[in-house]
């Protein structure tokens, strides 16, 4: 009797966990930065942290950048790079853990370098807040936006390559197009859809959205970075950008056995993200 394949449920649950430990964690980085700076935090949500108005313009430039919003995306980028190194260097790893770390890596790279791109092009989000504290130096803002946009654009291509390449960790026969589709759908498309759906649901109840301070449609700008994983789905399926036979040093199958504890934790944390962190925790 053939054992039932739970790979799809496992991939959805790991995508939920990866999203939780990327986006809400990004906001936790903001919270920690404000508290370390001695600011009074008003509320913490899944999409933003609001602190009492402080005159960050008086701080030294680097501290101003970190406290006003830049620290979170920088930390995300560092975590993503560390996870990538771990995945490429550590051979013996349970497939469920490798799947989770692969999705977590992608989330942190996107939340880090993706914000560089959005900040540089649109002057929005965390880096838009940073720029507001350099109004006395428009040349500095212009330089920062150009640097961020260039780093973000180059990184977007690099992340697409990484996402496509890391898909092959779970493909036993890289020349089999149907297997590439099977795996890429579960790894890349599932992560893209999970991030967009959970992010959209959590954004509905954000205080800044309910008050009209921010448009709900800004959500699509802030989350446009996740489209890279939609493209990676087609690239890995079609064998584009990466030579399948030489993609990764280690290969393992997607986890097919049931992991009910992981499923329950993933659903529970997602509900917390949407119904607790979404409306916000007030201090």
Q: What is the pLDDT along the chain (283 residues), one digit of tens a residue?
A: 567 899 999 999 999 999 999 999 999 999 999 999 999 999 999 988 988 877 787 788 888 888 888 899 999 999 999 999 999 999 889 999 999 999 999 999 999 999 999 999 988 888 988 998 888 888 999 999 999 999 999 999 999 999 999 999 999 888 899 999 999 999 999 999 999 999 999 988 888 888 887 777 777 777 888 999 999 999 999 998 887 766 677 788 999 999 999 999 999 999 999 999 999 999 9
Q: Structurally, how many domains does the chain consist of?
A: 1
Question: How many Å apart are CA 237 and CA 189, to the nearest integer?
Answer: 11
The answer to whether residue 39 is domain-embedded is: yes
The answer to whether residue 170 is domain-embedded is: yes
- Predicted TM-score of the model (pTM): 0.94
Full domain range(s) for residue 251: 7-282
How many alpha carbons fall within 13 Å on the CB side of residue 219? 20
The answer to whether residue 253 is domain-embedded is: yes
Question: How many Å apart are CA 24 and CA 206, to the nearest integer?
Answer: 13
**Which string of DSSP letters, residue by residue, matches 117-176?**
HHHHHH--HHHHHHHHTTTT-HHHHHHHHHHHHHHHHHHHHHHHHHHHHHHGGG-S-TT-
The answer to whether residue 242 is domain-embedded is: yes
The answer to whether residue 266 is domain-embedded is: yes
The answer to whether residue 2 is domain-embedded is: no
Q: Which residues pair with 51 in a beta bridge?
A: 41
The answer to whether residue 195 is domain-embedded is: yes
């Amino acid at each position: 009797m053939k054992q039932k394949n739970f790979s799809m449920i496992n991939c959805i649950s790991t995508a939920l966990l990866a999203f939780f430990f990327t986006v809400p964690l990004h906001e936790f980085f903001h919270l920690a930065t404000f508290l370390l700076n001695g600011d009074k935090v008003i509320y913490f949500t899944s999409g933003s942290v609001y602190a009492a108005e402080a005159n960050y313009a008086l701080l030294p430039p680097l501290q101003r950048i970190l406290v006003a919003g830049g620290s979170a995306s920088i930390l995300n980028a560092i975590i993503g790079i560390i996870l990538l190194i771990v995945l490429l260097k550590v051979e013996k790893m349970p497939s469920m853990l490798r799947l989770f770390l692969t999705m977590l890596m992608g989330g942190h790279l996107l939340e880090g370098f993706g914000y560089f791109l959005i900040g540089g092009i649109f002057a929005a989000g965390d880096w838009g807040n940073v720029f507001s504290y350099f109004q006395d130096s428009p040349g500095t803002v212009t330089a920062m936006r150009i640097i961020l946009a260039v780093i973000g654009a180059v990184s977007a291509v690099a992340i697409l390559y990484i996402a496509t390449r890391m898909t092959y960790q779970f493909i036993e026969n890289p020349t089999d197009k149907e297997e590439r589709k099977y795996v890429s759908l579960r790894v890349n498309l599932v992560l893209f859809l999970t991030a967009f759906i959970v992010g959209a649901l959590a954004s509905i109840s954000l205080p800044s959205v309910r008050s009209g301070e921010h448009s709900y449609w800004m959500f699509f700008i802030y989350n446009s970075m996740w489209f890279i994983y939609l493209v990676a789905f087609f690239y890995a399926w079609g064998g584009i950008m990466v030579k399948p036979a030489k993609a990764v040093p280690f290969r393992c199958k997607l986890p097919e056995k049931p992991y009910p504890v992981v499923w329950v934790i993933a659903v529970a944390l997602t509900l917390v993200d949407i119904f607790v962190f979404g409306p916000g925790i007030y201090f």
